Amino acid sequence: MSNFHTDADLIRHYAREFMCDGKEHTAADVLSYIHQVHGKTGVTGEPLDYRKVGSAFQNLIKMESGDFVKVRRGVYKRLPHSEKYAIETFYSTIADIVARVENDINAYLADNFKLTEYPDNVIQTFRTVLKDVYALLGKAVQIMAVYEAKQREADSDE
């Protein structure tokens, strides 16, 4: 008796298991693995084929929130958690740093002195810090743009 309700459930389970190495794998690799460990027929008794694997992967990509990505037509990859976490949080982390630095500077200026009372070296330090943080934020935007472009390119291969 199978623990799976549908062929898609079965394929997703074995795809997760097989792709835990974080390497790129073709739909054929995944199907071959499933045939070895489960057999050539699914829960419904029908043969498991490439069409079902492709459909299950489309669902995995949507359901798993970035754990799985389509590299190109018929090729998929499971991202290690740390890579997924870095991609999802990099921009927001930099944006949080920028906001905190800006808030700290504004609070310091408001609570202590008027801007004209600051020595030039303190004002220059504030400007340098903000410039560096905004440069990091710009790099984060570039990284996210490249990642999103690759995802769109992979999606358009269908």
pLDDT at 118: 59
State both tokens at 89: 């949080």
pLDDT at 114: 55
> Mean of the per-residue pLDDT values for the chain?
77
Domain spans of the chain, in order of start? 7-78, 81-156
Q: Tell me which DSSP letter residue 19 carries.
A: T
| Mean pLDDT, range 32-57, rounded to an integer | 90
pTM (predicted TM-score): 0.52
State both tokens at 76: 């998929």
Calculate ∠ Cα 18-28-31, nearest 5°: 55
- In tens, the pLDDT along 113-123 reads 555 555 666 66
Is the predicted pLDDT of residue 1 greater than 50, yes or no?
A: no
Residues 18 and 27: their CA atoms lie apart, in Å, by 11
CATH of range 7-78; options 1.10.10.10, 3.20.20.70, 3.40.140.10, 3.30.565.10? 1.10.10.10
- pLDDT-derived band at 30, boundaries 50, 70, 90: very high
Which residues, at least 6 apart from 94, have a Cβ–Cβ distance to it below 8 Å? 133, 136, 137, 140
pLDDT at 29: 93
Residues 19 and 86: their CA atoms lie apart, in Å, by 20
- In tens, the pLDDT along 89-112 reads 566 666 667 777 777 777 776 666
